[in-house]
Every structure is written in C-alpha cells, then in structure tokens.
Structure 1
Amino acid sequence: MKHWILLAGLASAGCAHVALAAGPLQPAIFITEPGAPAGEDDYTAGTKAMNEQRWQDALVSFDKVIAAKGSKAEAALYWKAYALNKLGRRDDSAATCSVLRNEYRKSTWNKDCAALGIGTGRVRVVVNGRTSTSTSSSSSSSSSSSGDDENTFAIGPIPPVPPMPPVPAGEGSYTLRRDRKSTGDPDADLKILALNSLMNQDANRAIPVIRDLLKGNQPESVKRQALFVLGQNKSPECQNLLREIALGKQDPELQRQAMQTLAITQGKKANDTLADVYRQSTDPKTKRAAVSAMFISGDAQKLVELARGEKDLDLKRQIVSQLALMNDKVAQDYMLELLR
C-alpha cells in the first residue's frame, strides 16, 4: 500500500486532473469532492482565477455558474461584477449588479455590489454610531456628521475581501470564503467594510481594533474576515500581529486560521513561521494545520524537511500525502527516495 500511494503521487505530477483517493490522501486545492452539486467545479475555477487576477477566465467560469442557477448563482453574479469592474467595464459591472438585485432581491450579496460603488449613488457605513458616506461618481467623500470625527470613516469605494480557494479537507483545514449563514450579528458585513476602510486609511489605528475584535466575542466569520484584512496589509506591524496569532499566542482556533491566512497572503515567505509552529506544537491538529498551510503556499522543500524529521507515522503520512499531490521535482525526488 505504501508503494502504491507513492507511485500514485508520482503519477499525479503528470496528470493534474486526477484526484487521488487511495489511503490517507486528501483532495488537493481546487479539486471538488465527488458528489458536489452542479456548478461547484466552475465556481471553484472562478475563485481560483480571481485569486490569480485572471479576471477574464473568472468571467467565463462564473457565467457557467450563473447559467446553472444553482446555490452559488448569487455569489457568482457578485464576483462577475467584481471581475468586470477590475477589467474597467464599469457599465457591464453595474448591469450585473442590477441583475443580482432584480433576480435575488433578498440576497446579502447585494450589499457587496453596493460596496463596489458602481451606479449605486452613496455607500453608507455606521461606525460607533456615526454615519459615513461616499459617492461613486467622484473620488471625494462626505460625512453626514459635521467636522472630521475620528470615529467616522469613508468607504470608498473599496474592494471587498476576495474569495478564497478551497483547502485540503480534513482536520486543521479552514476556508476563508464568505460565510453567508446568519452570524447572529446583523452588522457583521458593515463591520468588515468599516475595518477594511480603516485599514486602507490608517493601519496603525486598525491594528488595535483588530486585536480587540479577535479577543472579543465576535462571530467566527467576522474574525476570519478580520484575519484576512490583516493579512492583506504588508506593513511590519500587521504582519507581526498575524505571525503572533499564527504562533498561538491567542486562541488555538484563530491560530489555525491565521496559519492559512499567512500561506494565502504571503506564500513561501510564511513557511519559516509555519515550520516553527509545526516544530513547537505538541497538538496533532495544529501540526496538520501547519502542513495544510505549507501545502497551500507550495513549499515542497519545507514539507520534505519536516517529513524526514517526523517520527510520528500518522503525521508523516499526512505530509507525504500532501507531497504526493504536488507537481514539484523536490516532491518527486522524495517519493523516489522513499521507494528505495
């Protein structure tokens, strides 16, 4: 069985569309699990294209999801509008938002279309009881309160948090895609918009707000989005806070989510931190989360180093399973090393 898994891993390097299901292997990023509803593959392809800034490819995928009229159609309409806006096709983007409003009047994605500031007049966000507005037709913004109040922030228009790709299934894996289920907080979306705006305008003021938010009793979906907003800012202060969370100095649940955010936003630059987490932790769930994060960032060399030093066979099997899915010479060489 061991040799079968390793040979399957080598074969997968030349067949990108083959999903391995033998032994303990987990599905790779962007591979939809069997039995997924129609349109899931296209939606996954669309989100992957969005994260790689391939806007035209994203449009093709989201159009297929919209045509299928499945559970992802509302989200696909919004992300189509977002991609069109990125391509400079503002009229088409506004028209797509209109389709979303007309066909899905109760959809919470309408708020996100409004946040794009395309053909919708003003965007209003309340922060600490104060209201701020912005007008899409000009770059200037005006506050409904008099004077410059430190608790009033103009929204933009600003880009919302982009979609995140799926991650390997199993313990320690999380997704940062927008959660459209009820969070128990009717202002959750507005809080993220306000936080995103504040981060864009004054990161130093946003950092303590994020720290308090993550320590508080906010819904998990809000904390996930806050982590992503934090990861998008490349300032040393923001990256240090994200690294602090990933190293487990706050909440174990947030730690695993922070590791994934690091992998998505920093790529291989995050892997020294992720390797430190793996080596320092005694919790198998945390170790698996670190492995999943390094798989996302695509650092085969670091995973091979961890596999060579791992004495726990279950954890080593987890690492080898991820390496078997990577189209990387370092991973292939390690598979051959194990076969000798």
Structure 2
Amino acid sequence: MVFVALLGTGTAVAGQVRGPAVVPLPPQPALPQLPWLPPLPPVPSISVQALPPFDVEPLDLDLESIGDSAQEAVLQSLQALGTLRESASVSVLGSLQDGFAFRFSQQQPPRDRTEARAEALYRSARESIDRGRYENAIQELDRLIDLPGTSRVDAALYWKSYTQAKLGQRAEALTTLADLEKRFANSRWLKDAKALEVEIRQASGQAVSPDSQNDEELKLLALRGLIQSDPDRAVPMIERLLDGNSSVKVQENALFVLSQSQSARALEIIAKTARGAVNPDVQLRAIRYLGAIGGPENRQVLDEVYRGSNDAALKRAILRAFMTGGDRARLLALAKSETSPELRAQAIQQLGVLHATTELADLYRNESSAEMKKRVLQAMLVGGDADRLIELAKSEKDVELRRAAIQNLGLMAAGRTGEALKQLYSSDASADIRREVINALFVQQNAGVLVDAARAEKDPAMKKEIVAKLSLLRSKEASDYLLELLK
C-alpha cells in the first residue's frame, strides 16, 4: 500500500535551445519489394464452451465476439497463467486476482456479465484518477454510466464530477452532480456530492473555508509521521477527519494512515468505518484493511458486516478479505450456505487461492449443482491440486464435468499433468473425451505428447485434428513430425 499526498503541481516551461544546423542525409535507395507470405493454414476451432470463468476483475473477454485464432491466443495465455498460479504464493495470487480478469462471458448470465463489466470499469477509472489520468478516467466512467441497471452508476457520477473539477470543467462538474442528485435521491454518495459541490463553488471564486481539502492533505502528511511517534494524539485527529465533511480521497488516505498504527483505538475506528454509515468506497477500504491486519476480532467484524448487508459488492470485498486473512472456515461455511450463486462462486474461488484442497474436495463431494462443481474444479486449478483433477478426469460420471476437469488439467504445467493426459487419451474410448484431451494438450503446448498421439492414432479424422493442432505450435518436435509427413 502506498500513501500518496495530493499536492498541487506546477508546470515548468523549458526555454528554446538553438543547436547547430542539421545537414540533410542523401536520398536512400528504395527497398526491394518483399514477396507475399503464403497464407496460414486455417485455425481449427477449440471447444471452449465449458472452460471455467476466471472471476478475477479488470479484463472482460467475450469469446463469442472474437475469432478462432484469438481464442487460441487466449487459451495459451491462460495456460501461462495457470503455470504461474502453481508456483506463486498466496499474496501474489491475491494481487493477481485484483489485477487481471479472464472472464468467459458466455458462461455467465447477462446480469452478472454487466455487473462484472461495471466493476472492472470502476476499478480502472479509480486507478486512472489516482495516477492523474483524468481524461482516461472520464472515458471509463462514461462507459460505466451507460451500462443499464448496474450498482456503480451513482459512484461513477460522483467521480466523474470530481475528475471534471480537476480538469477545470467546473460547470460540467456541477451539472454531473445535479444529475447524480436527480437520478439517485437515496444514494449514499449524496453527502459526499454536497461536499464536492461546495468545494467546486468555492474554487469558482467564493471564500475558501479553513477546512479546505488542501489543508486537510497537509494535515495528513503531518499525521503520518505523528502516528508513529505519538499515536494517542494522532488517532483522535484522524477520527475527526473521517467523521467530518472531508472529501472521499482525504478520508481514504486518512484511513490508510490510521491502519499504520498498532493501537487498539485505531483498530476500533477502522472496524467502525467497516460497519458502514460512511461513504461506500471508504467502507470498502476499511474492509480491505481489516482483512490485511487479520486477527479473530477483525474477522468477526467482517462476518457481522457480511451477514447484515445486501450489497453484493460489499460482500465480494469481504470474501476477498477473508482470503487475505486466511480464514478458510468462514469461506467454506459461506460456500455451503450462501444463497447467491455469484457469491457462492466467489467464496469457492477464494478457497482455491488459499490452496484449500481438503475443503474443496469436501465441497465437490457434497455439491449437487453441476455448475457449482465446475466452479470447484476451477478453484482446484487455482489451488494447483493436479492430483484431484486427474482423479476426477478419470472417475467422474458426468461427461461435462469430466471435460471441465480435463480442460483445467490443460491449463496446468505439462510436467505435472502431461503424462496423465496422455494416459487418458490412450485409455478412453469416447471420441468427445479424447478430443477434449487433444485440446488440453494443445493449450498446454505439449508437442511431445501430441506427436506420440498422432503416431499411434488409427482414426484418420482424429489424426487430422492432432496434426492441425501441431501445425500451430512453435516446437521443434512438432516441426520435425510435420516434415516427416511431407516426405
């Protein structure tokens, strides 16, 4: 976590420097015309319909809208991601989860797809604002505002107004705030919108209050040092900032400063903020800090907030906080009892990030929903549980679940699952299952096993599919085998 003080910036204008005269180069001869490359062979389609959704927010991929070759590239990227997940620590996986989202849109209901897209746009816009990329932020916020019926539109309108004000577009910023008040009369953002409106009007020429935002930011800089040397004095001052009419960004920064203190009172204030009655973004920030700080008391606060809220975004944040704190027991309980399929899937996913292999095996064994079982299979992939996936790929009675297990094996390192996939291909009589194994080996870029399968294959149609996959791999083994076929 990095604390950034929002101080005003100046602009320096460089003087013009007169250098020596530039001597033009003599004309260069024209390059010869290059011959046209021969056309690439057609890319075979890959069955991706049953691939589990990587529900990790902000890239939203809709495989139905891109071509087969792009699908191949996506699958190869996922294979690399799966390999990384096998060797990464829990903290890296948690960061990865916040940084990337591979979401297979056709697997989700339209409502979930729209909410996921809105969440991704919102996070990206907030990052743009924090980095001073205000034009980019407005573009992302406008896209979010245009999404119908999503839960982040009121927040997007607030941050759009904030960003417009940063760009000096004060009239437009006030218009955006009026739109927020008109469309969302009961929004939790209205209090902050009123405070922002006052700041914008003051910046237009009215007298500036002693409690202006710039003064508060300077106070935060001082409080950051004071909280280490004299927390008894600093903590009450930060609490007043959180309880007052400070801007959202000032409150978020104040909360971060507070999280650096080890005092019991500081933790009480963070817990109080996590319980609500504050700006929604500030509440989410407090929830993340409680998860990072850990401890049974903080996790109990998170549990109470979860059970007392109907806000899906808030509950998702708490599930991630449980993962950060390593709370397998609560995640398992929610994976079993949560009535929302989306939140159940989130809880299952967080168990995968924690490598909770025993808990996931228990969930799979007792789960009746095929869709939720697919989510558990995905979590096993995230947790690197190759042995369990291999077992299910061999023994699962449901064909679709077997296929899902095989696909997940293809997303793991060849050294761990390649031999198992080879055995599956040679021992299974089902053409559909064998075709799924071929796809998994291709995603894994396992040219050696594919070449062995092609040599042993008696079915001309199946052999043709394997050769088509090999023709797309940049591998010496694949190239040598293809040259053999040409002799």
> Is TM (by shorter chain) over 0.5?
yes
| Alpha carbons 2:389, 2:408 under 8 Å: kept | yes
Q: CA deviation at 1:275?
A: 1.0
Residue of structure 2 aligned with 1:250, choices 347, 367, 370: 367
Once the two structures are superposed, what CA deviation does each residue of 1:73-110 show, in whole Å capped at 9, x if it has no partner?
7555445458x69xxx9434788666645663575457
| RMSD, aligned α-carbons | 5.0
After superposition, what is the alpha-carbon deviation per residue over 1:223-271, rounded to whole angstroms, capped at 9, x for unaligned? Answer: 111112122224xxx332123334x2333432221111221x23xx422
User: Structure 1 pair 250/73, CA: closer, same or farther in 2 (3 Å)?
Assistant: closer
- Report the Cα offset of residue 326 of structure 1: 4.2
The answer on 1:156 being equivalent to 2:274 is no
1:187 paired to 2:311: yes
Q: 1:139 aligns with which of 259, 272, 282?
A: 259
Scaled by the length of structure 1, what TM-score is found? Answer: 0.55
User: Which of 320, 329, 332 is residue 447 of structure 2 equivalent to?
Assistant: 329
The match for 1:104 is 144
The question of whether the paired residues in 2 share the 8 Å contact of 1:121 and 1:137 is answered with no
> Alpha-carbon deviation of 1:273?
0.7
Structure 2 counterpart of 1:239, from 335, 357, 372: 357
Per the alignment, residue 338 of structure 1 pairs with 456
Shift of 1:291: 0.9
Structure 2 counterpart of 1:200: 324
**TM-score, normalising length: structure 2:** 0.41
Letter in 2 for 1:91: R
**Cα displacement string for residues 107-155 of structure 1 (whole angstroms, at most 9, x for unaligned residues):** 54579999xxx963557xxxxxxxxx982455346545989x99x9942
Residue of structure 2 in register with 1:26 after alignment: 47
The alpha-carbon deviation at position 323 of structure 1 amounts to 2.8
Question: Residue 261 of structure 1 is aligned with which of 379, 385, 389?
Answer: 379
Question: Is the Cα–Cα contact under 8 Å of residues 134 and 157 in structure 1 kept in the other structure?
Answer: no
In structure 1, C-alpha distance between the alignment counterparts of 2:62 and 2:452, rounded to whole Å: 27
With over 3 angstroms needed to count, the CA separation of the structure-2 counterparts of 1:36 and 1:121, relative to structure 1, is farther
Task: Quote how far apart the aligned CAs of 1:322 are.
Answer: 3.2
| Counterpart Cα distance in 2 of 1:215 and 1:157 | 26
Query: Where in structure 2 are the equivalents of 1:76-115 lying within 5 Å?
Result: 77-78=121-122, 80=124, 90-92=130-132, 100-101=140-141, 104-105=144-145, 107-108=150-151
Structure 2 unaligned segments of length 5 or more: list them: 1-39, 52-59, 85-91, 101-113, 160-246, 261-265, 276-282, 292-308, 459-487
- 1: CA distance, partners of 2:421 / 2:134: 45
Contact residue 259 and residue 274 of structure 1 kept, 8 A: yes
Quick one: distance in 2 between partners of 1:155 and 1:146?
Answer: 8
Query: What secondary structure is seen at the aligned counterpart in 2 of 1:120?
Result: helix
Contact 2:80 2:411 in 1 (8 A): no
State whether structure 2 residue 238 is matched by structure 1 residue 120: no
In structure 1, C-alpha distance between the alignment counterparts of 2:62 and 2:367, rounded to whole Å: 32
Q: Secondary structure at the match of 1:196?
A: helix
How many equivalent residue pairs? Answer: 252
> Residues 81 and 97 of structure 1 are in contact (CA less than 8 Å); yes or no, is this contact kept in structure 2?
yes
Q: Which residue type is aligned with residue 303 of structure 1?
A: L
The 3-state SS of whatever aligns with 1:155 is helix
Same amino acid, percent of matched pairs: 13
Matched residues in 1 for 2:423 and 2:438: separation?
11
Quickly say closer, same or farther: Cα 1:326–1:227, change in 2 above 3 A.
Answer: same
Equivalences for residues 2-81 of structure 1 within 5 A:
19-21=43-45, 25-27=46-48, 33=63, 35-36=65-66, 74=118, 77-78=121-122, 80=124
Question: What is residue 409 of structure 2 aligned with on the other side?
Answer: 294
Q: Which structure would you say has the larger RCO, counting Cα contacts within 8 Å and 6 or more residues apart?
A: 1
CA distance in 1, matches of 2:248, 2:42: 44
The whole-number CA distance in structure 1 between the counterparts of 2:155 and 2:449 is 41
Contact 1:75 1:109 in 2 (8 A): yes
Match of 2:4 in 1: none
Q: Quick one: distance in 1 between partners of 2:429 and 2:249? A: 59
The structure that is helix-richer by fraction is 2
Aligned-partner residue type, residue 251 of structure 1:
S
2:391 to 276, 299, 318: 276
> What's the CA shift for 1:290?
0.9
Say if 1:330 and 1:146 are closer, same or farther in 2 by CA, change over 3 A: closer
1:278-314 per-residue CA deviation (whole Å, 9 max, x = no partner) reads 2232221221121121122243332112111213333
Could you tell me which runs of 5 or more consecutive residues in structure 1 were left unpaired when the two chains were aligned.
1-14, 60-70, 124-132, 160-184
- The verdict on how the C-alpha distance between 1:196 and 1:93 changes in structure 2, with shifts beyond 3 A counting, is farther
SS in 1 for 2:320: helix
Q: Which amino acid aligns with 2:131?
A: D
Contact 2:119 2:152 in 1 (8 A): yes
Contact kept, 8 Å, 1:134 with 1:156, in 2: the verdict is no
Q: AA paired with 1:135? A: L
Q: Give distance in 1, aligned partners of 2:134 and 2:248.
A: 6
- Measure, in 2, the Cα distance between the counterparts of 1:286 and 1:332: 23
Partner of 1:222: 343
1:197, distance to aligned residue in structure 2 (A): 1.6
